[in-house]
């Protein structure tokens, strides 16, 4: 991530000007921004103007005017509708008159797309991993002749395009995320090709990359089975070459039920030899084959818990998170007074200075309520100050999804707390 300007202090308001240089930077940006923040960026909007006239009018305003005109002329008279319309007419008459003054109905209109700068107060953020784009939806807070204040608008954050992010409070979590984005080197601990006949998807630990690969494959006894399977493998190889860089990932796992993984592995190595793909042929020892019950996302946790995979990625952040979650479930079954989940139970354990390991999802920090976000940031910091360890799980990773099913916050304890059962969840 390229940080072009920083203008903030810890636990205070401020802004940062950024430019995402690769898809991982967009991933960090997704984790950095939260509802209630604002983003300023350039966007485009379609406007109409009279042919031969430089004056532009927003196309949505014209469409609204035409709809009003059509409804006035085409609809039958309704006394209730007329009464309601009169109340709004006085408010809109001035706007329509100004629009009539701007446009001459006798002259043809032509459309053009212009670039303008908007600042949007964030309400929703969507991460499109396939298109390398973040889509932000919110209300405009920067006055502009084409987009009124308070109007809903979307912004797209893409690679190599600058944007400004403002926050009311730059807390420790936000600053840590920003620093990680600045210093990351596009590396990943693990890439997983999760597949079954006709379906495959590629994951990097922490996120999925690329859309699922789907190919219709007939029954094995059908004459078209072999060609369809070969086409499917070719599609997966194409996605593999696009999303997996063996110069930066530590390990690649191919997982499937049955023998699909073995068949694809042979196909991949043969293709690498034929096309002289040295990155694959020279690193084939780092490709593991692991059993999975299905080729769908829910089997990813099973793959990450495989002893061969854990050994390959030991001492990495991903491995520590997977082990911490596994330890929590094991302890909860074995000695339930030394493990707890739910905000009230975990807070009680912290008051007793009992938390050894805190597990929490990043969804609890993506809150438009600044005070709630601050509460969890301070909570994590307090656990660390008392000698505990804290893991923040990505809600888009399978381990984060598992934790979310248990309220999104859990803890392993230094000593048993039998009294914890007396506290309502």
pLDDT given for residue 31 in this prediction: 85
Q: Give tens-digit pLDDT for 78-118.
A: 444 444 444 444 444 544 544 454 555 555 667 778 888 99
pLDDT given for residue 70 in this prediction: 44
- Which ranges of 120-258 would DSSP assign to H, the alpha helix? 172-183, 225-243
Mean pLDDT of 55-68: 50
pLDDT given for residue 83 in this prediction: 45
Judged by phi (left if over 0) then psi (alpha if -120 to 50, else beta), residue 68 lies in alpha
| Residue whose pair of structure tokens reads 């302890």 in the numeric block | 331
**Residue 215 banded pLDDT, cuts 50, 70, 90:** low
Q: Which residue has better confidence, 190 or 200?
A: 200
Mean pLDDT of 203-224: 65
Mean pLDDT of 245-260: 89
pLDDT given for residue 129 in this prediction: 66
What is the SS3 assignment for 314-359? CCCHHHHHHHHHHHHHHHHHHCHHHEEECHHHHHHHHHCCCEEEEE
Q: Give tens-digit pLDDT for 143-174.
A: 888 888 999 999 999 999 999 999 999 988 89
75: which 2 tokens? 């609809």
Mean pLDDT of 382-411: 89
Percentage of the chain modeled with pLDDT above 90: 44
**Residue 188 banded pLDDT, cuts 50, 70, 90:** low
**Does residue 35 have a pLDDT over 60?**
yes
pLDDT given for residue 321 in this prediction: 83
- Give how far the C-alpha of residue 166 lies from the chain's centroid of Cα atoms, to the nearest Å: 19
| Residue whose pair of structure tokens reads 């109340």 in the numeric block | 87
Q: Give tens-digit pLDDT for 283-335.
A: 999 999 999 999 998 888 888 888 888 787 766 677 788 889 999 999 999 99
């Amino acid at each position: 991530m390229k940080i072009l300007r920083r203008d903030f202090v810890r636990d205070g308001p401020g802004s940062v000007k950024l430019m995402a240089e690769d898809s991982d930077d967009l991933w960090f940006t997704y984790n950095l921004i939260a509802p209630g923040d604002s983003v300023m960026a350039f966007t485009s909007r379609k406007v109409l103007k009279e042919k031969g006239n430089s004056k532009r009018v927003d196309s949505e305003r014209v469409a609204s005017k035409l709809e009003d005109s059509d409804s006035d002329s085409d609809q039958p008279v309704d006394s209730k509708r007329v009464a309601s319309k009169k109340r709004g007419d006085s408010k809109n008459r001035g706007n329509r008159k100004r629009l009539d003054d701007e446009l001459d109905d006798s002259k043809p209109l032509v459309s053009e797309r212009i670039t303008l700068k908007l600042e949007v107060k964030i309400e929703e953020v969507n991460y499109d991993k396939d298109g390398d784009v973040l889509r932000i939806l919110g209300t405009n807070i920067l006055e502009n002749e084409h987009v009124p204040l308070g109007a809903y608008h979307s912004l797209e954050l893409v690679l190599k395009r600058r944007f400004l992010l403002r926050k009311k409070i730059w807390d420790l979590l936000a600053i840590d995320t920003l620093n990680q984005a600045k210093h990351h080197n596009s590396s990943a601990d693990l890439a997983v090709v999760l597949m079954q006949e006709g379906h495959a998807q590629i994951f990097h630990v922490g996120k999925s990359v690329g859309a699922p690969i789907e190919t219709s494959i007939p029954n094995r006894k059908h004459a078209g089975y072999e060609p369809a399977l070969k086409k499917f493998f070719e599609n997966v190889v194409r996605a593999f070459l696009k999303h997996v860089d063996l110069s930066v990932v530590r390990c690649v796992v191919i997982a499937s039920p049955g023998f699909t993984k073995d068949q694809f592995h042979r196909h991949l190595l043969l293709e690498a030899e034929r096309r002289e793909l040295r990155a694959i042929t020279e690193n084939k020892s780092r490709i593991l084959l692991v059993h999975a019950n299905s080729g769908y996302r829910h089997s990813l946790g099973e793959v990450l818990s495989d002893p061969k995979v854990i050994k390959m990625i030991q001492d990495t952040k991903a491995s520590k998170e997977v082990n911490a979650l596994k330890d929590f479930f094991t302890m909860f079954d074995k000695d339930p007074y030394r493990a707890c989940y739910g905000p009230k139970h975990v807070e009680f354990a912290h008051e007793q200075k009992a938390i050894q390991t805190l597990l929490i999802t990043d969804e609890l920090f993506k809150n438009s309520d600044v005070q709630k976000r601050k509460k969890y940031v301070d909570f994590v910091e307090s656990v660390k100050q008392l000698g505990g360890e804290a893991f923040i799980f990505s809600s888009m990773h399978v381990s984060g999804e598992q934790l979310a099913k248990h309220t999104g916050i859990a803890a392993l304890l230094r000593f048993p707390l039998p009294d914890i059962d007396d506290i309502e969840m």
